[in-house]
Amino acid sequence: MSSTMFKNGVSKVFHNREIVEAKKAGWTFSPDKVVNVKPKMPKYKLEVSEVEVKQPEITTDLSGPEDLIIGE
C-alpha cells in the first residue's frame, strides 16, 4: 500500500516499507503548503438560440398488431 507524503510544499508517494524512513527524513502526511496545484479548466457553455424543427415524413409504418400477420 502506498501513501502520499508532503515536505516543503512538495508531495511524493511512498510505499509502505519506505514510510518509516520518510518520517525520519521529515516527510509528513498533512500538507503545510502545497505548491503542485492543478489549474482549473474553464467550463464552456453552449447556447442555442434558434432551431428548425423538422416534421416527420409519412412512411409505410405499421399501424398496429394486425399488420404483423403475414401470408393470409
48-68 confidence digits (pLDDT tens)? 888 888 887 766 666 666 666
Residue 13 lies in a domain: yes
Residue 49 lies in a domain: no
Residue 22 lies in a domain: yes
Residue 16 lies in a domain: yes
Residue 19 lies in a domain: yes
Query: What does pLDDT average to over the chain?
Result: 78
Looking at per-residue confidence, does 25 or 59 come out higher?
Answer: 25
Q: Identify the domain containing residue 5 by its residue range.
A: 1-32
Closest to 16 measured CA to CA, from 26, 25, 8, 5: 5
Into how many domains does the chain fold?
Answer: 1
